[in-house]
Amino acid sequence: MQAHPVHPPLAELMALEAAVSGLSFHSRQPLGSVLAGLHGSRLRGRGLDFAELRRYVPGDDLRQLDLRASLRYGKPYVRAYTEERDRPALVLADQRMSMYFGSVRAFKCAVGARLAATAAWMAYRAGDRVGGIVFDDDGQRSFKPLRSRDRVRAFLAEVVRANQGLSAQRPEQPRPEGLNAALRAALAQAPHDCLVCIISDFSGADDDTLRGLRLLAAHNDVVAVLVFDPMAQNIPSRGRLVVTQGELHLEIAVGRRRERQPLADFFSGRLREVAELLRRSRVPLLSVDTVQDELAQLRRELGRQIPGGRK
């Protein structure tokens, strides 16, 4: 099925289940993976349930040694654990008007919708319970994590509904605080031991966003996926650029330096600010542009070389 550049249908998002083989947000990542230690952080993976206290045998992990029991019985004892069968996964999908922009292959809102579907299917195929929060300029809709294909479908149907509501004719009703409201809702749903994947252009990110990310990451695994358009880094040097924001349309002669440069400085400066804020949050950051295939970029980001690390 060909990827829709602006409004991907539900069938396209559901079909992405077959494409997530080999992709995982869990902790067993290759050495060079962005999730294996970038920003000094490692995803915790699923939690562990205490199973039993037993005698130490050669080969046991010494980190599980129970000192109190060992002193009491005069012999080394270890605590044995079993991995939880699943854990809650929460996908935050941004479909605000700030995502309704694209200069080459696709709009950010379409890329974000496909990434939300990919993240949801990755969690589902890993055996986790899947839920999510879809937020736009009208508010947000939450889906409690369940181990259910119907729950994934319901979440993706809401992503599609919000996505299809985006239009150049839509009156401007910016809601920059929507990102922070979604983070607060995620914190209420994910108090601890959850996987939280935030897919957004992070428009409106501020100090409250930084605090929200740090609070979420204190007891959960958090991954931020920054969706951006290459025009934010490279404004065309000739021709005319038509910019629309709801009912307002503006034509800019980008061939003239005095008009192009302030616009280029604004876009590139804002992208750098967002990237710096996410770096300060110490949350693993994946960057995905609107030009290349989303899955190919995600695979590359999950396995990319850590600066200063080994191959």
> What is residue 44's three-state secondary structure?
coil
pLDDT tens string 161-187: 999 999 988 766 767 789 999 999 999
31 contacts 62 by C-beta, under 8 angstroms = no
The whole-angstrom separation of Cα 141 and Cα 225 is 20
* Cβ–Cβ under 8 Å, residues 169 and 247: yes
Number of Cα atoms under 13 Å in the Cβ half of residue 244 = 12
The pLDDT of residue 245? 52
Reduce the DSSP state of residue 293 to 3 states and report it. Answer: coil
- What was the pLDDT predicted at 103? 80
Q: What are φ and ψ of residue 233, in 5° steps? A: -105, -20
> Which positions of the chain have pLDDT values less than 50?
27-32, 36-42, 254, 260, 263, 265-266, 305-311
State pLDDT tens for residues 194-229: 999 999 999 999 999 999 999 999 999 999 999 998
How many of the other CB atoms lie within 10 Å of CB of 237?
10
The separation between the first and the last C-alpha atoms of the chain, rounded to the nearest angstrom, is 35
Query: How far is it, in rounded angstroms, from Cα 274 to Cα 257?
Result: 25
Q: How far apart are the C-alpha atoms of 284 and 60, rounded to whole Å?
A: 31
What letter represents residue 70's amino acid?
Answer: S
Is the entire prediction scored with pTM above 0.85?
Answer: no
pLDDT of 85 reads 59
Looking at residue 79, what is its pLDDT?
86
Q: Are 228 and 200 in contact (CB under 8 A)?
A: no
Tokens of 220: 């959960």
pLDDT value at residue 107? 95
Please write the tens of the pLDDT for every residue from 246-271. 555 555 554 555 554 554 544 556 77
Nearest Cα residue to 223 out of 30, 83, 27: 27
